[in-house]
Amino acid sequence: MFWRFPGFFRISLDIMTAIKKPKRQGKRELYSDDARSLFLAGKELEEIGALLPVALQTLKRWQQEGQWEDKRRQVPVSPRWLGEALKGLLREKTGNLLARGDLKPQELDELSKIITLIDRLCSQGVDIRAAALEVMDRFSDFLRSGVTDQEEIQRISHRVDEFFRQLEDEG
C-alpha cells in the first residue's frame, strides 16, 4: 500500500532508474580482437568465419574498418603486429586442442602465460610518436642545412603536420 506513503513511489522509481543494466557486449567486443589476430596469422576471412560465430559480411567490415590488410603486410617488420599474429596462432591451436579434449589444465595455463608474455612484448614496443618526433627533429636539422626555398619548406612543413595529425588519429 505505497499510496499511503507519498514519497515511496518516487523513491522506488529513483532506485529503479539508478540501477544500470550491464552493457551487453556485442560481437565486436567479443570476437574482433581474435578475428584480427587470426587474420594477421594468415587465416582468410572464410576460415575465421568457420572458427568464430561471426558472419562473413561482419568480418569484411571489420577488416576494412581496421585496415587489417595493411597490418598483415606489416607483420614481418612490426613487433606489434607480429605479436598479434602469434596470439592468433596460439588461440587457434589452443581452441583445436580444447575441442579434441587433448589439452590438460597445466598446458592451458602455460599457453595463457605465453599469450600474456606476448601481450607484454607487444606493449613494450617502440613508441611510434616518440620515434617520429626524434626522426622529424633530425629531419628538420637536415632541411635547415640544405633547403633555402621558403615555398619548399612550407610544403614540407604542411606534410609533416599532416603526418603528425594522422599519427594522432591512429592513437
Q: In the predicted model, what is the mean pLDDT of residues 67-94? A: 80
Confidence (pLDDT) at 6: 46
pLDDT band at 105 (very low <50, low <70, confident <90, very high): confident
Residue 157 has pLDDT above 70, yes or no: yes
Q: Is 39 exposed, middle or buried (0-12, 13-18, 19+ CB in 10 A)?
A: buried
Q: Which residue has the higher pLDDT, 126 or 26?
A: 26
Q: Which residue has the higher pLDDT, 16 or 121?
A: 121
- Over the chain, what is the mean pLDDT? 76
User: Does the CA dihedral 52-55-56-57 come out positive or negative?
Assistant: negative
Q: Which residue has the higher pLDDT, 152 or 57?
A: 57
CA angle, residues 13, 16, 21, in degrees to nearest 5: 150
pTM surpassing 0.85? no
Distances (CA, A) of 59 to 23, 110, 121, 153: 22, 30, 27, 43
Residue 35 has pLDDT above 80, yes or no: yes
168: Cα within 13 Å, side-chain hemisphere: 7
- What phi and psi values does residue 91 have, to the nearest 5 degrees? -60, -45
Confidence (pLDDT) at 8: 40
Residue 57 has pLDDT above 90, yes or no: yes
**For residue 41, what are the contacts with CB-CB under 8 A and spacing of at least 6?**
85, 86, 88, 89, 92
